[in-house]
Structure 1
Amino acid sequence: MTLTVSATVERWPVAGEFIISRGAKNHVDVVLCEISDGTHSGAAEATPIYYEGESAEQCVEEITRFAARHPDLDRSVLLQNMARGAARNALDCALWNLECRKSNKALWQVAGLPEPAPLTTAFTISLGQPEIMEAHARRAAAIGHGLLKLKLSGQDDSERVAAVHRGAPGARLIVDANESWNNLDIAAEAERLAQYSVELIEQPVSAGHDHLLSGVKSPIPLCADESCHTSADVERIASYYDAVNIKLDKAGGLTEAMAIAHAAQATDMKIMVGCMLSTSLGIRPAFALAQLAHWVDLDGPLLLAEDRIDGFRFKGGKIFPAH
Structure 2
Amino acid sequence: MNTHRVTRMDVELQALRLKAPFRITGYTFYDVPVVRVTLHGEAGARGRGEAAGVYYLDDTPEKIMRTIEAQRPMIEAGITREQLAQTFPAGGARNALDCALWELESQQAGVPVWRAAGLDQALPRVTTFTLSADAPEVVGRGARALSHARALKLKLDGDVETDIARVRAAREARGDVWMAVDANQGYSLRNLERALPAFVAAGVKLVEQPLPRGSEAELQGFRSPIPIAADESVQSADDVAGLVGRFDVVNIKLDKCGGLTEALRMVVEARSAGLQVMVGNMVGTSLAMAPAFVIAQLCDFVDLDGPTFLERDHVPSASYDGGSIHCAPDVWGGGRV
- Counterpart selection for 2:30 from 16, 20, 26: 26
- 1:33–1:90 Cα contact (<8 Å) kept: yes
| 1:54 counterpart residue number | 59
- 1:203–1:226 Cα contact (<8 Å) kept: yes
Where do 5+ consecutive residues of structure 2 fail to align? 331-337
Once superposed, what is the RMSD of the aligned Cα atoms? 1.4
- 2:122–2:294 Cα contact (<8 Å) kept: yes
Q: Take 1:99 and 1:22, find their aligned partners in 2: how far apart are those partners?
A: 40
| 1:244 counterpart residue number | 250
1:223-266 CA distance string (max 9 Å, x none): 00000111111111121000010000001110111111110010
| 1:213 counterpart residue number | 219
Q: Take 1:237 and 1:309, find their aligned partners in 2: how far apart are those partners?
A: 38
Structure 1 pair 2–102 and aligned structure 2 pair: CA distance change class (3 A): closer
- 2:221–2:245 Cα contact (<8 Å) kept: no
Identify which range, 41-50 or 2-11, moves more after superposition.
2-11
Please say if 1:273 is aligned against 2:284.
no
- 1:171–1:197 Cα contact (<8 Å) kept: no
Q: Take 2:124 and 2:39, find their aligned partners in 1: how far apart are those partners?
A: 29
Could you tell me how far 1:69 is from its partner in structure 2? 4.1
| 1:186 counterpart residue number | 192
1:18-39 CA distance string (max 9 Å, x none): 1111221221111110112333
Could you tell me how far 1:285 is from its partner in structure 2? 0.6
Q: Name the SS of the counterpart of 1:94 in structure 2.
A: helix
1:289-318 CA distance string (max 9 Å, x none): 100111100000111112122011112211
Superposition map of 1:52-201 within 5 A: 52-69=57-74, 71-140=77-146, 142=147, 144-155=148-159, 156=161, 157-201=163-207
Where do 5+ consecutive residues of structure 1 fail to align? none
The amino acid across from 1:26 in the alignment is Y
Q: Take 1:213 and 1:219, find their aligned partners in 2: how far apart are those partners?
A: 13
> So what's the TM-score if we normalise by structure 2?
0.92
Please say if 1:225 is aligned against 2:231.
yes
| 1:235 counterpart residue number | 241
- 1:67–1:73 Cα contact (<8 Å) kept: no
- 1:47–1:278 Cα contact (<8 Å) kept: yes
> So what's the TM-score if we normalise by structure 1?
0.96
- 1:92–1:255 Cα contact (<8 Å) kept: yes
The amino acid across from 1:16 in the alignment is A
